[in-house]
Structure 1
C-alpha cells in the first residue's frame, strides 16, 4: 500500500509541474525588460506629405512606451536632443512649425505641421536625425525621470548607446 501511495504522489507531483514562467524572448533578447534606442538619420520632410515613417528593426510590444527625440543642434560639443512634440515660434510671427509623431508596434510616423511649410528653412526640413527610445511598459511608471532630458532617460533606463541600431533613410 505504501508503494502505491508513493507512486500516486510521485505521478501527482509530475502532472502538477505544468506551471512555468513564460518569458518573451525574441532572438535571444528579453525585450520585455530591455529598453532600446533606434537612430534614424537623413530624414527629409518633403512637400505634399511633410511626414516620414521610421520603421522599427523589430516589432515592439503593445505595452511599450515610445519617446522620439530630434537632434536640434550642438552646444559646447554635445548633441542637443529635444523631445517631440516640439514647436517653433519665430519672432516675426509669420511662420511657426511643429514636429509630432504617432506610433504602432512596427513604426513611428514623424510629421511636420505648420503654416507655409514650403518656406521653412531646409535646416528644419532636410537631413534631420531622430532617436526613438522604446521603454518597456513594466518600467514606464517605475522611475520618476524628466523625459525631456534625453541623457536622464538613457541613464534611468540603463540604455547602452553602443548597442543603438542606426538607420539611414
Structure 2
C-alpha cells in the first residue's frame, strides 16, 4: 500500500499494490497491519455501503464527538468525486475542502479523519461506495453542511442544479451555521 499526503494535515490517499495477469487482478483492499506500518492506527467497527445513480450528491455529513467518525472510503463500482471539508477550528486548513476522483478503476481510497465533513457526487451511470468507520452511527451526534454553500465553493464535477439530493441534505445549514464541535 502507498500513502499519498494531501495539502490538508491527516487527510491521506491510499493506493493498493495491484497484481494483474491474464486472469484479471488482485489487491488487498484493507490490511490493518499494513496501515499501521504506515502510521495509521484506526480500529474500524462498521462498514457502510451505498448504491447511487448518476447525478446523486450525498453529503456533507459528519458526527460530533464523542461519536466522531474516521472513514476509509473506496469505490467498488463506478466513479465519484469524493469531498472532505476540514471542520477542525484549530487547523490551518479550517473551512477548506479536498476532493479526489475515486473509482473502481484507480482503486484509490480516501482516509477521512474525525473532524471532517464528507460527501460525494456520482459521475458514472451508477456507483457502489464502501466506507469503513471507527465509530458506530449515532443519530444525536450527526451534523451536516449544505453541499452548495458558496462559502465552500465545492466543485462537485457536475451541474449541482441538476443533482439528485435527499430532502435531509437539502435542509442542512451552511458552513457558518453548522453545529460542528471540532
Bucket of the pairwise TM-score, normalised by the shorter protein: under 0.3
Q: Give the TM-score taking structure 2 as reference length.
A: 0.25
Q: Relative contact order: is structure 1 or structure 2 higher (C-alpha 8 Å, sep ≥ 6)?
A: 1
Q: Give the TM-score taking structure 1 as reference length.
A: 0.26
Q: Which structure is higher in helix share? A: 1
